[in-house]
């Protein structure tokens, strides 16, 4: 299973969140450092769009693992809530296209 690991204890604001995501998920240099750009980069993981280092097979799932999730929840609960909301929305988009959900959020 494909895995992207984030350190929730080191995420203290949106810039640190986006910096970690860019590295962990292999977003391009043109990544916009916004949640809209985050959603865009993770919406086509089964296509060859070059928006991340992951290219999933039809039934494969990308696990986004946030270690130190409790520290993140204490410091920036709004970011964790936004990530959860966006993962659900992205998975819904995959289902709308007749595909299996592509993301699984794991909080540790």
Give the tens place of pLDDT for each residue, 45-100. Answer: 999 889 999 999 999 999 999 999 999 999 999 999 999 999 999 999 999 999 99
First to last CA, the chain: 17
Q: In angstroms, rounded to a whole number, what is the distance separating the alpha carbons of residues 40 and 53?
A: 14
pLDDT digits (tens, 9 = 90+) for 15-30: 999 999 999 999 999 9
Q: Domain of 77?
A: 2-107
In sequence order, the 6+-apart residues with CB closer than 8 A to the CB of 15 are 33
Q: Which residue has the higher pLDDT, 64 or 44?
A: 64
**Residue whose pair of structure tokens reads 């949640």 in the numeric block:** 35
Q: What is the CATH number of the domain that holds 80?
A: 3.30.370.10
What is the structure's pLDDT at 48? 86
What is the structure's pLDDT at 49? 86
Quote the number of domains for the chain. 1
């Amino acid at each position: 299973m494909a895995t992207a690991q984030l350190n929730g204890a080191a995420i203290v604001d949106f810039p640190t969140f986006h910096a970690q995501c860019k590295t962990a998920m292999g977003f391009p240099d043109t990544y916009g450092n916004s949640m809209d750009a985050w959603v865009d980069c993770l919406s086509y993981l089964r296509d060859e769009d070059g928006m991340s280092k992951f290219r999933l097979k039809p039934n494969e799932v990308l696990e986004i693992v946030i270690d130190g999730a409790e520290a993140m929840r204490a410091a920036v609960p709004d970011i964790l809530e936004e990530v959860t909301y966006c993962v659900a929305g992205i998975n819904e988009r995959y289902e709308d296209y007749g595909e299996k959900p592509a993301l699984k959020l794991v909080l540790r």
